[in-house]
Homo-oligomer: A and B are copies of this chain.
Amino acid sequence: MADVAGQLAGISLFSGLLPAQYEALSRIGVKRSFLKGERIFSEGDEGTGFYVVCGGRVKIFKISTEGKEQILHLCGPGESFGEVSVFTGQGFPADAVAALPSTVLFFPRVAFSSLIRQDPALALNMMAQLSERLRQFAGLIEDLSLKEVPGRLAKYLLYLGGREGNGTVDLDVSKGQLAALLGTIPETLSRILAKLNRRGLIRSRGAQIRILDRRGLEEIALEGKRLP
């Protein structure tokens, strides 16, 4: 269990807690592993607890009746998911699948919620986490309704490019998945990438994309319109 406690330190949800509290958390946290593509929970499943990603990547998404998927979030190490059902008492509001081979920590609802009751710091961290997610969702809603696909793609590329420093972006998901993240389909994504290539804004080869004209991309991301 000391193993678990060690991992907790790097998780923002648990930052600033005392050693005794890590101890308490590690007692209730259960480690689980999932193969790539394995389902962690489905929309509507009873929410018996929430998860924190230790390694790998977990995809949180919604599926339409026709089968199209919209990715709500891709959770990497240190990020949590499924917290909503801890507090609303309803089922999970979306599906979760391991996008890569992943290990996660599961915290049962009842045990965790009694922990929160005793520890204001943990509660505040949790609220910050929920708030941050809420902010991200507000941004996603804005993008989906106010920007067209090229704008959303440009914004996402800039986001990825910003983290790397240099202008090269490595997609850590397939292009089909990237399309689902942007709220579109692979064909449309492919066409738009081709257009951006033709204009010299980017150079894409496979899962590698180099940003050639950051300013041009920013323009598209802001206006969110028209690639004539």
Interface, chain A (partner B; CB < 8 A): 62-66, 68, 70, 72, 83-88, 90, 93-94, 113, 116-118, 120, 123-124, 126-128, 130-135, 137-142, 144-147, 183, 222-225
Contacts and interface: CB of A to CB of B under 8 A. Distances in A.
Contacts of A93: 134-135, 138-139
Contacts of A131: 83-88, 130
B138 A72 contact: yes
Contacts of A62: 138, 141-142, 146
Contact of A88 (B86, B113, B132): B132
A65 B224 contact: yes
A131 B118 CA distance: 20
A86 B131 CA distance: 9
Nearest to A90: B135
A83 B130 CA distance: 10
Nearest to A63: B146
Contacts of A70: 141-142, 145-146
Contacts of A128: 87-88
Given A64-B224, A130-B130, 20 more contacts: A62-B138, A62-B142, A63-B146, A64-B142, A64-B147, A70-B142, A84-B131, A84-B135, A85-B131, A87-B130, A88-B131, A93-B134, A113-B124, A116-B127, A120-B120, A123-B124, A126-B127, A130-B134, A141-B141, A144-B183
